[in-house]
Amino acid sequence: MNETLVRTAGATPVKDGVVDCDIHPLPARPDDVLAYMPERWQEHHRVYGSHFRAPFRESSPWPRAAPAISRRDAWPPNGNMPGSDLPFMREQHLDLHNIEFGILQVLGFATGSQRNLDYSAAIASALNQWQLDYWCNPEPRLKGSIVIPTEDPEAAVAEIERWAGHPAFAQIFMTPRLTEPMGRRRYWPIYEAASRHNLPIGIHGGGHGAHATTGGGWPSYYIEEHPTAGQSAQALITSLIVEGVLERWTNLRFVVVEAGFAWVPALGWRLDKHWRRLRSEVPHIERLPSEQMHQHFWFTTQPVDEPERPDDMRRTFDWIGWDRILYASDYPHWDFDDPRYAFPFRLSPEERAMLFRDNAVSLFGLA
Amino acid sequence: MARYVVATTGDIPVGTNKVVTVRGREIAVFNVKGAFYAFLNKCPHEGARLCHGAVVGLVRSDEPGTFEYTRQGEILRCPWHGWEFDIRTGQSWVDPENTWVKNYPASIERGGKLVEGPYKAEVFPVSVEEDYVVLEV
Amino acid sequence: MSWRDVKPIDCDIHVVVPHTGVLLPYLDDYWRDYVTVRGVRNLDMTSYPPTAPLTSRPDWRPATGHAGTDLALLRRHVFDELGAQIAICNVVWGAQALHHHHLAAALCRAVNAWVAAEWLDREPRLRASIVVPWQNAAHAVEEIERCAPDRRFVQVLLLAMADQPLGREHYWPIYEAAARHGLPIAIHAGSAYRHATTSLGWPSTLLEDYVAQASGFQNQLMSLICEGALSKFPDLKVVLVESGVTWLPAFMWRANKIWRAMRMETPWVDRPPAAIVRDQVRLTLQPFDAPPDAAVVERVIEQIDSDRTILFATDYPHWQFDEDEVIPAGLSADLARRVLVDNALATYPRLESLS
Ligand code: FES
């Protein structure tokens, strides 16, 4: 029997609304965003531009699977970048897949990875206003993420204060590869502000961090690098738990985006086992790490893990907890997951509702 | 099994494809070096429309660091997750035993023959002096 | 039947170099003076502080000094109490983390000679891994050639994190020599600390470093597969030691998935990565990182879908389990038998005289 045809046979209808927790918008023209920056930073952008801890200004050190990391069919008819054309996004994704709400994740400009902190802050402010004007206002199904200059927590908090409570913004946006692990104190002001405003923090895989993408050095190939998002996610969860961030701000909610999910149960088991042994090193951690994980973390499904036996996907969701799984498409990127075909087993109506909609609606307070 | 005329050969230049709908099925017809192949326009993985895929060659290697690139123009990479399919057979390269795209026999017929024969030409108007791509569906 | 009746083969126990002084008799004059004059006294590794709870189970800790330094205690714990018929000892030690690769070579040579003389000669049930100066592949090959005639050395020891990913061609001469001599490559938890232990940077605690080892192993497997090292040496077995086990299914699913998408990038990987893992990769049992829930363990074992993959190991004297609870509930009797003895025999050609 053809496994992949089974996938098709099990197609999940999208007649009920779907919340897509990962949509990537881009500006049709950089000027659309630059216009929101002070002249000084527009000039900086034109003359110097991005300055990363990475060899290339505009591309990844590992050539991606496809141009603009995108589905080959996601280029709008006007020839602009994938994800830059709202009418085309509506036609190809929002309407086709009955997306009731979509959470924008703004990777363009790689804000959190900029080495020039003032430039980073200027980009963040501009991107937030741009999300509102170009996406959330014209298309209320789309909810923004507050982009912050992560490495300058003071400026990051100012940006959070500026947008917190605005109904168009659903969460704070971060990428995990930074100067230090995410739980370290330099980032605590961000968590304090998120806690105060009860805003979820979406952590989307990626960023040009200060460190090799594996503990054993730099991999050669994209085929190796792509799965490292999963290991980065494990490191960020470990760091946030072990540094005590979740014991300090008990209402924090983190969404791990674009890291898959199959690794989640094993991380919890491993953390528990070794925490029990090394407890005396971290006496400030009083709650079982796997419990903290379940309480504070949500996981988006994309890129959907594909167990050899489809039923193991169900079992993985059982282990993680169905209330913590969120559908995400990653539109318009190449590793996009189609809500109809990504889950090759039969979902009960309750499971389907949780996975595709209800978990996200209650997490982000969508209405 | 009925035969459908879906295009003139000139409609589909070498290396390109045309999408036709026959009996409610969306079918992509590819021209590989002058021969025509047709398959369902839907990837068996997550359903991408294969007509948007990249037409490439087949890379193989007996030795790490070497790249033997053959059959250029005969392999389709799915426009989403890049699974490779042999355009001639619809078979998946990464999982040949279990995964393939449903394909349909395609042939070239002379218009003069078509107007006489038992073909369903409603998909496409036929004139005597051209060559046509005919699908069996 | 108790698992001890089977007389298991313990594929990971630790012998510890208490200080560099014990190696002096095994160093030549230049290096003996180097070590003495320069004060190279202690190369204990950051990953295993001798006094940390992880490093020794309380009832295995000697009254004084480091656990894993006393043969009489080791005999009692590993052979008498845990009932092993054979135990493979791994010396995880700082020679493999030095930047000075010639010094590393001298110290590895000394440590292997010390292991042979002080441990293997005195306890015939012990086997050992060859500690190699992987910083310099030529030196590492020399050390393999030197030790290989002694068939009590059953594998070659590397660590989970180093300068560059382990699939890189830098390491291939090591793999070639190992395969030629019927020596698996053991990759043991640990780091040379060339890079932060996580892709996000340096965590604050030993706990995080240790949890991150699992990610390190995943990255290394991906490297060994994608660089073609495992295809290049199809007879080579890689044993992940002290790696944890339950992360393996998720790793294989993800590796298969990205391979289907990106096969064209590394076309020498001509079958799904999970198939390569099942053929060539083995994992030691402890620390077994599952909850104490037989149903979960059963399911994970089903997902691994190979009764050849897991090798019995206590990780003595590291504290991974209490009493004799080394076999997790949820392993069938058949699988347990394979894990306890058969899989080690199939993995280590140099143990064949036992079968
Ligand atoms: S939809 Fe074609 S490879 Fe996934």
Judged by a CB distance cut-off of 8 A, whether residue B84 touches chain C is yes
Question: Is the minimum distance from the CB of B48 to ligand 1 under 6 angstroms?
Answer: yes
Kindly state whether residue C161 falls inside one of the protein's structural domains. yes
Contacts of A302 (CB under 8 A, 6+ apart): A22, A258, A260, A327, A328, A329, A330, A335, A336, A337, A342
- In the A/C pair of chains, how many CB contacts fall below 8 A? 242
At A181, which amino acid appears? P
Q: Report pTM.
A: 0.96
Tell me the residue range of the domain where C323 lies.
3-350
Cβ separation A335–B99 shorter than 8 A: no
Cβ separation A73–B46 shorter than 8 A: no
Residue C352: what pLDDT?
79
Cβ separation C268–B82 shorter than 8 A: no
Residue A246: what pLDDT?
97
Strands (DSSP E) contained in chain A are 18-23, 99-104, 142-147, 169-174, 201-204, 254-257, 297-300, 325-326
Judged by a CB distance cut-off of 8 A, whether residue B48 touches chain A is yes
Rounded-to-integer distance, Cα C336 and Cα C2, Å? 10
Residues C144, C175 contacting (CB under 8 angstroms): no
DSSP lists the bridge partners of residue A326 as: A300
Minimal Cβ distance to B99: which of A2, A340, A342: A2
| Closest CA of chain A from B9, distance in Å | 25
Residue A342: what pLDDT?
96
Dihedral angle over CA of A209, A214, A215, A216, nearest 10:
-130
More confident residue, C156 or B113: C156
The bridge status of strand B84-86 relative to strand B68-77 is antiparallel
Please give the residue of chain A at the shortest CA–CA distance from C210: A274
Kindly state whether residue C66 falls inside one of the protein's structural domains. yes
Rounded-to-integer distance, Cα A153 and Cα A170, Å? 20
Kindly state whether residue B13 falls inside one of the protein's structural domains. yes
Rounded-to-integer distance, Cα A282 and Cα C57, Å? 19
Q: Which domains does chain A have, with CATH numbers?
A: 18-364 (3.20.20.140)
Rounded-to-integer distance, Cα C223 and Cα A153, Å? 36
| Closest CA of chain C from A62, distance in Å | 11
Residues C207, C153 contacting (CB under 8 angstroms): no
Rounded-to-integer distance, Cα C145 and Cα C131, Å? 12
Kindly state whether residue B38 falls inside one of the protein's structural domains. yes
Ligand 1 centroid distance, CA of C66 (Å): 55
Ligand 1 centroid distance, CA of A334 (Å): 9
Q: Is the pLDDT of residue B122 over 80?
A: no
Q: Is the pLDDT of residue A12 over 70?
A: no
More confident residue, C343 or A3: C343
Rounded-to-integer distance, Cα A126 and Cα A120, Å? 10
**B82 CA: nearest ligand 1 atom:** 3
The bridge status of strand A169-174 relative to strand A142-147 is parallel
Kindly state whether residue B129 falls inside one of the protein's structural domains. no
Kindly state whether residue B3 falls inside one of the protein's structural domains. no
Helix ranges (DSSP H) in C79-238 = 101-115, 137-147, 172-180, 206-226, 229-232
User: Mean pLDDT over all residues of chain B?
Assistant: 90
Question: Is the minimum distance from the CB of B95 to ligand 1 under 6 angstroms?
Answer: no
Q: Which residue, chain included where needed, has tokens 């995400």?
A: A328
Residue B125: what pLDDT?
62
**B43 CA: nearest ligand 1 atom:** 2
Q: Report residue A6's pLDDT band, with 50, 70 and 90 as the boundaries.
A: very low
Residue B47 belongs to domain with CATH number: 2.102.10.10
**Buried-state track C129-161, b at ≥16 Cβ within 10 A, e below 16:** bbbbbbbbbebbbbbbeebbeebbbbbbbbbbb
C157 CA to centre of own chain:
6
Cβ separation B82–A334 shorter than 8 A: yes
Rounded-to-integer distance, Cα C210 and Cα A276, Å? 13
Residues A164, A101 contacting (CB under 8 angstroms): no
Residue B119: what pLDDT?
62
Q: Report residue A10's pLDDT band, with 50, 70 and 90 as the boundaries.
A: very low
A143 DSSP assignment: E
Judged by a CB distance cut-off of 8 A, whether residue B59 touches chain C is yes
Kindly state whether residue C312 falls inside one of the protein's structural domains. yes
Instruction: Mutation target for A interface from C96, C198, C288: give the one with most A CBs within 10 A.
Output: C198
Domains held by chain B: number: 1
Judged by a CB distance cut-off of 8 A, whether residue B71 touches chain C is no
Judged by a CB distance cut-off of 8 A, whether residue C220 touches chain A is yes
Tell me the residue range of the domain where B32 lies.
9-108
**Which of B78, B98, B101 should be mutated for ligand 1, with most atoms under 8 A from CB?**
B78
Kindly state whether residue B53 falls inside one of the protein's structural domains. yes
Kindly state whether residue C355 falls inside one of the protein's structural domains. no
Rounded-to-integer distance, Cα C194 and Cα C207, Å? 19
Quickly count: other Cβ atoms within 10 Å of residue C344's Cβ: 27
CB-based burial of residue A332 (10 Å sphere; 0-12 exposed, 13-18 middle, 19+ buried)?
Answer: buried
Residue C14 belongs to domain with CATH number: 3.20.20.140
Q: Report residue A262's pLDDT band, with 50, 70 and 90 as the boundaries.
A: very high
Cβ separation A178–C200 shorter than 8 A: yes
Residues in chain A: 367
Angle between helices A264-277 and A311-320 (to 10 degrees): 40
Contacts of A46 (CB under 8 A, 6+ apart): none
Ligand 1 centroid distance, CA of A74 (Å): 14
More confident residue, A12 or C55: C55
| Closest CA of chain C from A356, distance in Å | 22
A323-332, B112-121, C285-294: least confident range: B112-121
Kindly state whether residue C164 falls inside one of the protein's structural domains. yes
Segment A1-26 mean pLDDT: 66
C39 CA to centre of own chain:
29
Kindly state whether residue B113 falls inside one of the protein's structural domains. no
Residue C355: what pLDDT?
56
The protein residue with its alpha carbon nearest to ligand 1, atom 3, reads B81
Give chain C's residues under pLDDT 70: 1, 354-355
Q: Report residue A1's pLDDT band, with 50, 70 and 90 as the boundaries.
A: very low
| Closest CA of chain A from C154, distance in Å | 25
More confident residue, A41 or A15: A41
At A85, which amino acid appears? D
Judged by a CB distance cut-off of 8 A, whether residue B97 touches chain C is no
The tokens describing B122, both together, are 């409603």
Q: Which chain C positions have a beta carbon within 8 Å of A180's beta carbon?
A: 200-202
Q: Write out pLDDT tens, residues A151-199.
A: 999 999 999 999 999 999 999 999 999 999 999 999 999 999 999 999 9
Domains held by chain C: number: 1
Kindly state whether residue C163 falls inside one of the protein's structural domains. yes
Q: Which chain C positions have a beta carbon within 8 Å of A177's beta carbon?
A: 199-200
Cβ separation C214–A239 shorter than 8 A: no
**Buried-state track A179-201, b at ≥16 Cβ within 10 A, e below 16:** bbbbbbeebbebbbbbbeeebbb
Q: Which chain A positions have a beta carbon within 8 Å of B82's beta carbon?
A: 65-66, 334
Kindly state whether residue C107 falls inside one of the protein's structural domains. yes
Rounded-to-integer distance, Cα C346 and Cα A304, Å? 35
Chains in touch with A (3+ beta-carbon pairs under 8 Å) read B, C
DSSP lists the bridge partners of residue C186 as: C157, C239
Ligand 1 centroid distance, CA of C134 (Å): 41
Judged by a CB distance cut-off of 8 A, whether residue B65 touches chain C is yes
